Amino acid sequence: MLSYGGKTRRAHRTMYELMHGRIRPNALHVCHSCDNRKCVNPNHLWLGTIQENLADMRRKGRGTKPPRTKPKARRNQVQTAVSIPALPR
Ligand SMILES: [Zn+2]
């Protein structure tokens, strides 16, 4: 997560917007070709619908397990807030 313009946003979505311009809120997902959800490399990000993202997951053999009902403890997770200037309007 990072914040700009007074709002906290997902880092990969913000990176995509910095490179390609604003995305209509909630209209499309910013998906990862590298399958690393923490990655913000703009060359690994593509814009797609939830159906396209799910199809990409199935094509790569991911998402075949049922979702966990109880999240595991994330002991090693580090959250870092980064502030960058707002996009020009
Ligand atoms: Zn990546």
- 35 CA to centre of ligand 1 in angstroms: 7
Distance from residue 45's CA to the centre of ligand 1 (Å): 7
Residues 24-71: tens digit of each pLDDT: 877 799 999 999 999 999 999 999 999 999 999 999 988 766 656 666
**Is residue 81 over pLDDT 80?**
no
Q: Is the dihedral of CA 56, 36, 40, 74 positive or negative?
A: positive
> Which of 29, 25, 19 minimizes the C-alpha distance to 7?
25
Q: Which residues surround ligand 1, an ion (CB under 5 A)?
A: 34, 36, 39, 41, 44
> What average pLDDT does this structure show over 75-85?
67
